[in-house]
Amino acid sequence: MSTRSTGVPRQATGRQGARRQPAPRRTTTRQPAGEPAARQRGAPGRPAARTTDAPAPRVAPAREAGRGTVGAVSERTGTVPRRRTAAAAERSRVAPRRPAPAGTRPVRPPAAPGAPRTVVASRARMTAVLVVLCLVLVTFAGRLVYVQVVTGPEVAAIAREKRMATAQVLGARGEITDAGGVVLATSVERYRVVVNQKQVATYRARGSSDGLDGAAGVASRLAPVLGLNPAELGGDLVGDRGYVVVARDVLPDVARAVRAMRLDGVGVEKVADRVYPKGTVAGNIVGFVNSEGEGLQGLEFALDEHLRGTAGQERFESGRRGQPIPGGVSEANPAQDGRSVRLTLDSDLQWKAEEQLRAKVAETGADGGTIVVMRPTGEVLALADSTAFDPNAPGDRATEGLSPSVADIFEPGSTSKVVTMAAALENGLVGPTDRFEVADRWRTPQGETIKDSHDHGVEKLTATGIFAESSNVGTVLIGERLSKDQRYQYLSAFGFGSRTGIEVPGESRGLLRTPDDWHGRDEYAVLFGQAVGVNALQVASVFATIANDGVRVPPHLIAGWTSPDGVFEPAAPREGTQVVSQQTAATVLSMMESAVDDGTGGNAAIPGYRVAGKTGTAQRFNPSGYTASFIGVAPADDPQVVTAVVLHNPRSSIYGGTVAAPVFSAVTGYALQQLGVAPSGAPATLFPTTWE
């Protein structure tokens, strides 16, 4: 007999219950209508709907067609079953566990199928990804530290070095001034345009009408500013050199215009351009420099080592166009300016000498001439050549000869008789008043004939008269008392045959052969200024020695040096050599004064001043012709100035007293005024020139 299930399993009793329990049947309990929800869900106080003493076996749900869904109508009851929750369904599917025997370990319940394996795999993959990311981050951080800390300074230095550009900084060349500080040579601000050919090649036209790139584009824009031909300039821009000068002596305004163009690889450098404010005045002495600022002639060449500055160098970070980067790295090795030289020259006196010389050369038709003005103590005040030029525009002067005042050699003629007379007086072989009968001709033991400049009968002359009248025959009569060696020794002691040491380059030694090389009439000719060769400065130095009490001081042009910081240092004093005694020098000076007052040098007189001097006329041995000269000292009573005037091959007259003496008067008179020399006092007491 079947009964309706109440939802509570029936308790088995007796042996039958112990022997076997029937499998529980899935039942549905109908809840009475109107019962509270709390009681439906097992509220407190209500017994459980189903209990059992023994563990219930796992329930295998049986589904039949039409009963697989919650909303299906029960075939037995005809009612719709109550919808169960997931938890209730789970409890109904899982049978109660059988109690474990005492003393055994509890068994972990089996995991839900599939879930644990998926979670573990996901966690493993996540861990691997994190490890890889950590490794990447650590590697990146390590590399960053290595680059920033370890190799950072080195890499930065390499990069900076690639940006570094170098520019040469020239030291200013020192000035050349005269004795009073008048500037004869100086440097002014100029620029030169330089290019980096590699950077020029990277130039790209930006808004240019021609649209040209590279060297062609730079040349098309730069050439008009510099006044150059674009094609020629373009040739200088092509190549792989990092430093090429394309324009020199650029004015500041033009340099600023070039900078403003900001052309790739084009820059400007400040340099000093050499200028000569006095033009032709002392141009033959000062000389000039080449386009690189290096001395080429004159004092610019001779003193180049002292005048030129020491070049410096500036290294700086540059941009793509080669321009300095503001605030970038800059390294400078400062340039050092050169020293300035102060000369003994008087520029006004130099101008006067040049002006007088040019006029006389033009008047007489001479081939050329020289004027030397110096102190008895060797300071050269003027050194004029008729071939003066303007150092600002030397033209072909660089390929021509040196300054004639120190380079040209000529026979001194009668001016050399000063040496013969001084040697004879010094050795006691003659006195100023000794008497001689002098013919116009004299025959040597070898049969050679010595003649005076003009025919005359036998004249009764003193030694002073022989000197004043410039008699060759009378000079030989006095000079033959000297041995050959004595003649040579005194000529050499007065400076013949050796350079004076003047700072002007190209000075000749002159010509003085030893007695063993004298032939024929040479041993007599040297007594009156033939068979020897001198330059104008050498023969002027002879008279300066007499004017300086017989002490020879080498001629010189440098008064001292001024350092770049303005400190003047006088040149070391030149040592003198006593050639003849003071008494001998005074006697010769007095005899020379007679040559102006009573002899051939009357045209050399200077009003208010006593003048001592000697005329000279000598044949030129190369080329042919004559050399006319006058060399004198003023004032004779207190020598301050020695002046030598030399004219080569004058056409109007060959006599020094006629063509050279007037120039001496004009130039020396001007020099005395420039130097503020007071006029002479008492008139001279002269030695007699003739006898009865």
DSSP string across 621-678: SSSSSEEEEEEEEESTTS--EEEEEEEES-SS---HHHHTHHHHHHHHHHHHHHHTPP
User: Which three-class secondary structure state does DSSP give residue 503?
Assistant: coil
Active site residue 414: yes
Q: Which of 265, 183, 278 is nearest to 221 (CA)?
A: 265
The Cα–Cα gap between 606 and 42 comes to 159
Q: Are 237 and 269 in contact (CB under 8 A)?
A: no
User: Which three-class secondary structure state does DSSP give residue 450?
Assistant: strand
Query: Across the chain, which distance is largest between two alpha carbons, in Å?
Result: 209
Kind plus residue range of the DSSP H or E element containing 186: strand 183-195
Backbone angles phi, psi at 569, to 5 degrees: -125, 115
Q: Which of 548, 540, 542 is nearest to 494 (CA)?
A: 542
Give residue for tokens 């068994």: 107
The Cα–Cα gap between 92 and 327 comes to 87
Q: Single out the catalytic residue among 405, 414, 470, 629.
A: 414
Backbone angles phi, psi at 626, to 5 degrees: -130, 155
User: Which three-class secondary structure state does DSSP give residue 487?
Assistant: helix
Residue 559 makes CB contacts below 8 A (sequence gap 6+) with: 179, 342, 343, 344, 379, 570, 571
Q: Cα 131 vs. chain centroid, distance in angstroms?
A: 64
Q: Are 496 and 512 in contact (CB under 8 A)?
A: yes
Return the beta strands (E) in 74-182 as ranges: 164-169, 176-177
Q: Are 46 and 39 in contact (CB under 8 A)?
A: yes
Give residue for tokens 């520029």: 347
SS (H, E, C) 288-352: EECCCCCEEEHHHHHCHHHHCCECEEEEEEECCCCCECCCCCEEEECCECCCEEEECCCHHHHHH
The Cα–Cα gap between 3 and 10 comes to 11
Q: Which residues on adjacent β-strands are paired with residue 643?
A: 373, 632
Q: Which sequence positions are flagged as catalytic?
A: 414
